[in-house]
Each structure stands twice: as C-alpha cells, then as structure tokens.
Amino acid sequence: METVTHADVLARFGHALSDPTRARLLLALRAAAGYPAELADQLGVTRQNLSNHLACLRGCGLVVGVPEGRRTRYELADTRIRHALDDLLGLILAVDPQACPDAADQGCC
C-alpha cells in the first residue's frame, strides 16, 4: 500500500469518475455494498466489464473487496468517499457547450 499526495488523490478520484460506468458503479456502491454479479445486472454491463472497472476502482483506492466465503462483497473503501460523492451530487454546474464543443471526443467536460 502507498500513501499519495492530495493532488494524487484528486487525480485518482477524477480518473474514476471520468468513465460513465465507473461513475455509475461508485453511485451504486454509495447506496449499498454489492456483489459483482448483482452489480453487473444492476448496471447492465457484462461481468467481465464490471470486473475490469472494479479492478480500476480498487487500484485507485476507492473500493475494497471483502471476502465472504466463496464470494466477495464490494464497498467504498472509506465512508468519506460517500460524503464526497454526496457533495459532488449537490453541485449545480452551469455548463457552456460552446466552450467545449468537442467534449465527447476530447474527454473534456
């Protein structure tokens, strides 16, 4: 395990949220811990795809797997992540599509 700087933490959090599936996965885990098969069904993705996203979120330090017999339950790594997501969801953003017209192509906005 490694300790990272504040800037690294924000970069990892931003990377996690930059993908719509990972963002939805974090929101699902914000609501409740879950098992991969159930989370895949809930999000409408394949189990392999979900496994890849869980690995990314584990690598970013945002999610942990808790072994339960032959299964693994996934949850947010720290309760403060839930609070951070709550705070982000409470933001109201004034989006200007003209400022970043190629947002989807460039990963911007």
CATH of the domain at 41: 1.10.10.10
The pLDDT > 90 percentage for the chain reads 67
Structure confidence by residue, pLDDT tens digits, 20-73 = 999 999 999 999 999 999 999 999 999 999 999 999 999 989 999 999 999 999
Residue 37 inside a domain? The answer is yes
Q: Which domain range does residue 47 map to?
A: 6-86
Residue 107 inside a domain? The answer is no
Evaluate if residue 3 carries a pLDDT over 80. Answer: no
How confident is residue 108, by pLDDT bands cut at 50, 70 and 90? Answer: low
Residue 109 inside a domain? The answer is no
Evaluate if residue 93 carries a pLDDT over 70. Answer: yes
Number of domains, the chain: 1
Residue 97 inside a domain? The answer is no
Residue 104 inside a domain? The answer is no
Residue 93 inside a domain? The answer is no
Residue 101 inside a domain? The answer is no
CB 56 within 8 A of CB 16: yes
Threshold 0.85, pTM exceeds: no
Specify the pLDDT at position 1. Answer: 60
Evaluate if residue 106 carries a pLDDT over 70. Answer: no
- Give the C-alpha separation, 19 to 17, whole Å: 5
